[in-house]
Structure 1
Amino acid sequence: MRAVVQRVTSASVTVDGEVVGAIGRGLCALVGVTHDDDVGRAEQLAGKVWQLRIFPDDEGRMDRSAEEVGGEILVISQFTLYGDTRKGRRPGWGAAAPGPVAEPLVEAVADALRARGATVATGRFGADMQVALVNDGPVTLVLEL
């Protein structure tokens, strides 16, 4: 499982002109799933995202988590995180799990975050989504499990 996590002041996802998910201060997590991922890995990723210490403390050091600051989480499925660009100019998608495997695992990440107390918004799996965000910092990290 892979995620690109951005600290944001706000983020939203729109499908067919309709905002289907929006958050204020928190994290936007683009989540990719590969073939050998499972619910355990989804729960592990959720814990890492929720407790990642990338929010400033009183001295301005990145030492607080979304959990500590009450940050919201926007979870977006992102199969292109497993694009292989080593050969040619067109990415290969063989490492990305197919929809029937990936969709429940992206939902498992969102559910595990909710179970930890997070306010979670999501995109719509498989849809053509437009994601808007204000990256705070900017802070962007790649997580891989």
Structure 2
Amino acid sequence: MKGLIQRVSHASVVVEGETVGAIDSGLLLLLGVEKNDDEQKADKLLDRILRYRVFSDDNGKMNLSLADTGGGLLIVSQFTLVADTRKGLRPSFSSGATPERGKALYDHFVTSASERHPDVATGIFGADMKVSLLNDGPVTFMLDV
């Protein structure tokens, strides 16, 4: 399971002209599910994301986490994160989960996040989404479990 997190001043997801998810200051998470992923990996990644220190403390050091700041978490499924791009000119998606398994783990991740964090928004799994964000920093990290 891979998660690309970006510290944002605000972010939103639009599907068919309608905003389906939006946050103010917090993290935008692009979530990729691989075929060997399971609920345990999803829970481990969620824990890291909530506790990953990417926000500045009073001294300007990245010592605060999303759990510390209470900022928003916008979760967007993105299967292209798990593409194998090591060779050739076309990505391979053979390591990606099936759409059914990907949706099940995405739903598990979203439910767990909503139970553990007060401000969670999402995109729509499998939809053609338009994601807008103002990256704060920029601060962007790829987390793998």
Q: Which amino acid aligns with 1:59?
A: N
RMSD of aligned residue pairs (Cα, Å): 0.9
What does 1:1-145 correspond to in 2, within 5 Å?
1-145=1-145
1:80 match: secondary structure: helix
How many residues are aligned here? Answer: 145
Deviation above 2 Å: which 4+ runs of structure 1?
none
Q: Which moved more, 1:116-125 or 1:49-58?
A: 116-125
| Structure 1: distance between partners of 2:16 and 2:76 | 16
CA distance in 2, matches of 1:11, 1:50: 17
**Whole-Å Cα distance in 2 between the matches of residues 87 and 117 of structure 1?**
39
TM normalised by structure 1 equals: 0.97
Preserved CA contact (<8 Å) 1:46 1:110 = no
Residue by residue over 1:31-71, the C-alpha shift from the partner in whole angstroms, topping out at 9 and shown as x without a partner, is 00011111111111111111111100001100001111111
Q: Give unmatched runs, 5+ long, in structure 2.
A: none
TM-score, L = length of structure 2: 0.97
Q: Which runs of 5+ in 1 are unaligned?
A: none
